[in-house]
Structure 1
């Protein structure tokens, strides 16, 4: 047999015996009686391996497998007993599994049954890992918070399983487990030695006649001793982790004396970073026990030494009386170097030499104080700290001495916290694409500037917008657009003064603050005008991107403000100026009061217009379309605003506003309804023209809604003539084209209004399936004297005839004009000569007479 295996077997026997003898130590066996039993199992396991070697009998292997089957249960018992836990019945019952297994192995029938050792061990490990009781967890947390026993125990289990699975080497398994147990036992002995004083302290507090209560910041009870439970009259389960009204009432008593059950008690309340310590003494007999003071002193010493912050106790003049280890490590000193020294000389930077005295004066009056400041280490390195200072009454003086208050100072190193905060702040304050400030940062700076400026200081705000930037993203791509934004941002930034604030709040807008532009409005305006001229000179130059040359147009709104304006008002006025600049030929506009007045008027008119629509004040007037003999064939519906006072406003007064605010869509459908009502009352009328805005045609569902309205009145769609203006070609997109196609499909007829005034009139004749054209009245107005107009009208008529279109001249006002037009060949006419636009009831009345 391999010498290495023989050696390992003998060595496993020796080491397991040593381990077992070591576990008989009282400190170990008293801690957990399962440890000697577990170690004895390892001894038997090793001896059986030796007997297998000497006798080559399978019976020893069976016993060895039996011990191996018991090991998971023994390990589980060990850890639960180690916690002082009562062994659950399920664990006790689990002993029956290896017992039954061993019995069955000795029978002929079942001697070859496998034992699923891995599953059994895994279930027990899961149990002790995830299902400890609250009592067990509290015990571990109090007694073994810094212990490595649990870590080593679980590591040994995984090591044990690893060895068994991959090597199936019993001697190595026995040696490794024995060594692990020796290490655990050594830690237990060491822990016993170090825990002895803590046990005595806890036992003293628990058995003391003085009442001890520990509260958290929310007055929940964390701990109360037996004397306290008797005083309150509750069990530990009824009070721990909960608020108790009686205890809270005691803490708020001002004279520190309480009466209960005929006895007098004096209490003291000490506040710490972790919470509060309430101590109550029975002073009925006049004999006060001072043992509680010693215990409290020990408790506070423990808190003082273990708090994570640097803590120092100083006199009012700054002399250090006491400090903890964390304070020394934070500032790099030894204890001998700080005790008795003035704290200012050790950790205060020269430029803050006056600060500590001011803080000590403040804390005298305020009792507590918290600030963030800079302190220095022994090596000169500066650190940022959060300093919490509290004044404490010092009663430890002789009767003849004047009591001097002490100052407790807590130092928290926030250098790393500040660095992380700066990184986050920089991320939140800067636009990732351009590196400019974000909208939120810009508004904070603007608010600060508007609130804390000196009287007389005038500042400027500049808003710059890239015209039609969305088209660039559509025609190119977003990466192309992003590069444009980066280059524009860089050019603007290089055109500004040092210290001026620039941000990119939205995709294609840039906001700029010009601080202290002048001491009066005129001076500031001149400075801002020069700056924005410089900016426009740079940003209007061509851009070279991906081999392409791009030229951009910009609009800018500007406003000069001072301390009398708040941030919201400044932004409102600047945005008004920008809006005006976008619709103006002058692309750089300063805010002025006239812009506000126009906005107010527009807002008022819009409100009135909405009310008028809901009150059905927007009505159609009809102008007849006639033959030469004045016989009415059709009409054109023209919108009018009939106010309550009877006054009538033409569409030129409000149609643009309807298009801007989108009301034109709803108003256009109302016009169609009124036209359908007229057609339903008079069947003789062949058609009515209605004007349709490009805004309506850009609505995806426009055609369907028109058809539904006409269908609801049972009107033939061919009686409705849709008049569009020549600028529709400019707005022609897929939506507009689809709406026109659908209208024609539904049976509506299409007509071009004001034909001949645009640049693309002839293009319509080939692009759109028209039925009619209306000739602009500017051609008719010059008749009969202007021969050029006559020639144009003849040419238009011939073109219309060639395309089989009905041509209708507008603006016919006298008989001479009618005669000339009739001689050219026109059959239908419209104008004041045949009738002005009138309300529908008058128009129907005329039709009835005819």
Structure 2
């Protein structure tokens, strides 16, 4: 009888496939195995799943169930959801053992199945017939989902599925209609399928986890055995008893720890290390008796910070009790320091020790991501004024000192809670998170500008510096951090365009200005190829003879839509975008081409920009233009400004000497408006000094302007340099200039700039007719300065 019973039992086990889910786990691995099943089962979003189907079921049942029953069902659903939330919370916190949480989850699975099985039976029994075609498939779908998401606990999964299947089958069987009996058959077939699927999927899940653990343990053991033979390596083998006390420390281990063998023997391993979360983790692992690898702990040896990496595994006695721990320790101090340095360099600017662009952008994004509605934040974009001139003139080493001091001043100028970062080059940014009002940001911007007004002392040399600041606010100028940063950048551009050393607040109109500027950049890039650029020429008159000595070439842009674009508008754009190099080369070639058609005693004067002076091809451009036009080199005059000499002084002076070696004349333009260092006149023998119109316009009315012009002319004469006065507009100015001995003049009194086709080299320009002090007519004039001009000169 017992034999037949065992055969029946064996047959039942095979039929029910119980062997597939009978996984034997050692007692010491029970906690780990429970955690595996718990983590796999808890990974499914039960709380969201239950909430969705509870709300759907209650809404559906509301149309045909009593209100009190709906309320009861709602209460039960809330209780189930609360229980699931508590289990999910315990899984996250890990305050209790995995076995305890796992048991609670198994119990909840059965309770949930009972509730949903009963609810299914109720709404199938009470629902109107037209609801059944939708309700029955939905109930079976929930049954299948519940089973498949619990493959880690197969027995409870099948209990839950069976209960829910009963909730479908019983009310349908009672109905006993044809369609209902068909539904019964489908539900039972689904139950059989779920049994096969859950047990087979559980087998795959369990065998994979158990085999992976076995392989990992074997690999750890092999690795430890290999290290035992590596006596000359950098790792030290360790062995500790079940309480973590060091056993038989080897000499290399003692030497590394700077302790004697007697002191180390019996000492708890954890006491070697500093009090830290890592040390607490080491102790917790010891309690849990888990394998662990590469646990890095900090320690101090003779006052020096070090880091050691520990890997170990528990060794058990035949009876299953813990015998000892075996593992090895590696000194990873150098690696850890290198990693910390790399991490620091990845997030901080080494020169200023400020956060870099990467860390600033990350912080900015997180700050705006957690900002509440209505909270005000500000971003300040800071750019140092004229830093490139300092860097180029005094060298990168001193430029680095300036950047470091600038970063320090910006940090001191803002609130201690603000984040200051160096974005790159001479650009900085400030994040002011959760400010009370906008005035705080404006005060910070003004403080930054003020702080940068003081020159920076570098090795006893005072270097002038300044700062421009753009300010933008969130959420006013954007809800995302990068939007507000872009707005601050646009405000910074506005501050620079207003003359630098100031702060501007973002205005939406600035975006239109940037788009317009971008459009101008694109149009200017094509202006040369489309033939929209043109040269006009303003005559230079010899004061004594009244003859035309030459012309100054002035660039004009005739845009098909914008009309005539002022050079004051497009020249700065060309300089900033680098297009001035190609345009400047064209100007030189075109001016010489036109000059080739003039009388040979007439010269042409062309302005050079700082960007052109930095162009390595400038000398070749000049040589090529002279050769192709066949114009004598002494008929070409190049004008440079004082500011240009400040940048790369030695390189620029060397280049000017090479150009002058070709026979080309060099003029110093706008003398007296910049730094006006007389050392420039010593460093290079200019052919001419041009007196700026700001002095000429007041020469007849202000004694100081008259005195300045007289001094410049006198100085130029003693240095064998000619002088040209710009912007002469009336007879009184001309008379004063003649008395000073100025060599040449140009201005509206004689002629405005005209296209080459309109130039009349046979006659000198006559003074323009005046109306209320303004030029109302300009006319090609005879070669001699008019009698009216001479009379004015005499009256002067």
TM-score by length of 1: 0.48
1:431 maps onto 2:348 in alignment: yes
Instruction: State the secondary structure of the residue aligned to 1:808.
Output: strand
In structure 2, C-alpha distance between the alignment counterparts of 1:784 and 1:701, rounded to whole Å: 44
**Paired position in structure 2 for 1:349:** 95
Q: 2:622 aligns with which of 706, 709, 727?
A: 706
**Paired position in structure 1 for 2:594:** 678
Asked if structure 2 preserves the Cα contact closer than 8 Å seen for 1:369 and 1:390, the reply is no
The offset of 1:733, in angstroms, is: 1.8
**Paired position in structure 2 for 1:644:** 560
1:516 maps onto 2:429 in alignment: no
In structure 2, C-alpha distance between the alignment counterparts of 1:816 and 1:436, rounded to whole Å: 60
In structure 2, C-alpha distance between the alignment counterparts of 1:359 and 1:672, rounded to whole Å: 89
Instruction: State the secondary structure of the residue aligned to 2:759.
Output: helix
Asked if structure 1 preserves the Cα contact closer than 8 Å seen for 2:381 and 2:485, the reply is no
Instruction: State the secondary structure of the residue aligned to 1:654.
Output: helix
When residues 783 and 712 of structure 1 are mapped into structure 2, their CA distance, relative to the original with a 3 A threshold, is same
Asked if structure 2 preserves the Cα contact closer than 8 Å seen for 1:700 and 1:739, the reply is no
Deviation sequence 1:111-136 (CA, Å, 0-9, x none): xxxxxxxxxxxxxxxxxxxxxxxxxx
The offset of 1:693, in angstroms, is: 1.9
Asked if structure 1 preserves the Cα contact closer than 8 Å seen for 2:398 and 2:458, the reply is no
**Paired position in structure 1 for 2:154:** 392
1:460 maps onto 2:378 in alignment: yes
In structure 2, C-alpha distance between the alignment counterparts of 1:793 and 1:546, rounded to whole Å: 37
In structure 1, C-alpha distance between the alignment counterparts of 2:97 and 2:503, rounded to whole Å: 48
Deviation sequence 1:479-535 (CA, Å, 0-9, x none): 967975885687579x423xx6555543665544333335xxxx3x13444566778
The offset of 1:543, in angstroms, is: 9.4
**Paired position in structure 1 for 2:690:** 774
**Paired position in structure 1 for 2:522:** 607
**Paired position in structure 2 for 1:803:** 719
**Paired position in structure 2 for 1:235:** none
Asked if structure 1 preserves the Cα contact closer than 8 Å seen for 2:466 and 2:501, the reply is no
Asked if structure 2 preserves the Cα contact closer than 8 Å seen for 1:624 and 1:837, the reply is yes
**Paired position in structure 2 for 1:625:** 540
Instruction: State the secondary structure of the residue aligned to 1:836.
Output: coil
**Paired position in structure 1 for 2:606:** 690
How do 1:789-828 and structure 2 match up within 5 A?
796-813=712-729, 828=744
The offset of 1:606, in angstroms, is: 2.6
The alignment's C-alpha RMSD in Å is: 5.8
**Paired position in structure 1 for 2:489:** 575
Name the stretch that deviates more: 351-360 or 617-626: 351-360
In structure 2, C-alpha distance between the alignment counterparts of 1:416 and 1:438, rounded to whole Å: 34
In structure 1, C-alpha distance between the alignment counterparts of 2:711 and 2:546, rounded to whole Å: 25
Name the stretch that deviates more: 483-492 or 582-591: 483-492
**Paired position in structure 1 for 2:256:** none
How do 1:100-111 and structure 2 match up within 5 A?
none
Asked if structure 2 preserves the Cα contact closer than 8 Å seen for 1:436 and 1:503, the reply is yes
Q: 1:561 aligns with which of 453, 470, 474?
A: 474
In structure 1, C-alpha distance between the alignment counterparts of 2:683 and 2:31, rounded to whole Å: 82
In structure 2, C-alpha distance between the alignment counterparts of 1:443 and 1:797, rounded to whole Å: 56
In structure 1, C-alpha distance between the alignment counterparts of 2:12 and 2:555, rounded to whole Å: 100
How do 1:579-590 and structure 2 match up within 5 A?
579-581=493-495, 584-590=499-505
In structure 2, C-alpha distance between the alignment counterparts of 1:590 and 1:576, rounded to whole Å: 9
1:474 maps onto 2:390 in alignment: no
Deviation sequence 1:514-560 (CA, Å, 0-9, x none): 33335xxxx3x134445667788999999999999999755443321
In structure 2, C-alpha distance between the alignment counterparts of 1:530 and 1:351, rounded to whole Å: 56
When residues 354 and 726 of structure 1 are mapped into structure 2, their CA distance, relative to the original with a 3 A threshold, is same
Asked if structure 2 preserves the Cα contact closer than 8 Å seen for 1:502 and 1:513, the reply is yes
Q: 2:439 aligns with which of 513, 526, 548?
A: 526
Name the stretch that deviates more: 652-661 or 762-771: 762-771
When residues 629 and 535 of structure 1 are mapped into structure 2, their CA distance, relative to the original with a 3 A threshold, is closer
Instruction: State the secondary structure of the residue aligned to 1:835.
Output: coil
In structure 1, C-alpha distance between the alignment counterparts of 2:405 and 2:106, rounded to whole Å: 53
The offset of 1:349, in angstroms, is: 0.9
1:841 maps onto 2:757 in alignment: yes
Name the stretch that deviates more: 640-649 or 598-607: 640-649
Asked if structure 1 preserves the Cα contact closer than 8 Å seen for 2:666 and 2:686, the reply is yes
The offset of 1:715, in angstroms, is: 2.3
Asked if structure 1 preserves the Cα contact closer than 8 Å seen for 2:556 and 2:565, the reply is yes
In structure 1, C-alpha distance between the alignment counterparts of 2:155 and 2:686, rounded to whole Å: 99
Unpaired runs of 5+ residues, structure 1, are 1-286, 319-341, 371-387
1:496 maps onto 2:411 in alignment: no
Asked if structure 1 preserves the Cα contact closer than 8 Å seen for 2:550 and 2:604, the reply is yes
In structure 2, C-alpha distance between the alignment counterparts of 1:826 and 1:543, rounded to whole Å: 40
In structure 1, C-alpha distance between the alignment counterparts of 2:490 and 2:471, rounded to whole Å: 9
Deviation sequence 1:155-185 (CA, Å, 0-9, x none): xxxxxxxxxxxxxxxxxxxxxxxxxxxxxxx
**Paired position in structure 2 for 1:747:** 663
Instruction: State the secondary structure of the residue aligned to 1:681.
Output: coil
Asked if structure 1 preserves the Cα contact closer than 8 Å seen for 2:402 and 2:456, the reply is no
In structure 2, C-alpha distance between the alignment counterparts of 1:626 and 1:510, rounded to whole Å: 50
Instruction: State the secondary structure of the residue aligned to 2:553.
Output: strand
Unpaired runs of 5+ residues, structure 2, are 1-10, 42-86, 114-141, 167-190, 214-289, 298-308, 310-335, 765-781, 784-796
In structure 2, C-alpha distance between the alignment counterparts of 1:793 and 1:544, rounded to whole Å: 35
Larger Rg: 1
The offset of 1:667, in angstroms, is: 1.4
Asked if structure 2 preserves the Cα contact closer than 8 Å seen for 1:557 and 1:574, the reply is yes
Name the stretch that deviates more: 426-435 or 438-447: 426-435
When residues 822 and 430 of structure 1 are mapped into structure 2, their CA distance, relative to the original with a 3 A threshold, is closer
TM-score by length of 2: 0.51
Asked if structure 1 preserves the Cα contact closer than 8 Å seen for 2:448 and 2:467, the reply is no
Asked if structure 2 preserves the Cα contact closer than 8 Å seen for 1:491 and 1:539, the reply is no
Deviation sequence 1:266-324 (CA, Å, 0-9, x none): xxxxxxxxxxxxxxxxxxxxx999699799679x65999999964568799x9xxxxxx
Asked if structure 2 preserves the Cα contact closer than 8 Å seen for 1:690 and 1:721, the reply is yes
When residues 450 and 768 of structure 1 are mapped into structure 2, their CA distance, relative to the original with a 3 A threshold, is same
When residues 833 and 358 of structure 1 are mapped into structure 2, their CA distance, relative to the original with a 3 A threshold, is farther
In structure 2, C-alpha distance between the alignment counterparts of 1:826 and 1:630, rounded to whole Å: 12
In structure 2, C-alpha distance between the alignment counterparts of 1:418 and 1:479, rounded to whole Å: 41
**Paired position in structure 2 for 1:323:** none
When residues 555 and 621 of structure 1 are mapped into structure 2, their CA distance, relative to the original with a 3 A threshold, is closer
When residues 826 and 734 of structure 1 are mapped into structure 2, their CA distance, relative to the original with a 3 A threshold, is closer
Q: 2:424 aligns with which of 500, 506, 509?
A: 506
Instruction: State the secondary structure of the residue aligned to 2:616.
Output: coil
When residues 733 and 533 of structure 1 are mapped into structure 2, their CA distance, relative to the original with a 3 A threshold, is closer
Instruction: State the secondary structure of the residue aligned to 2:539.
Output: strand
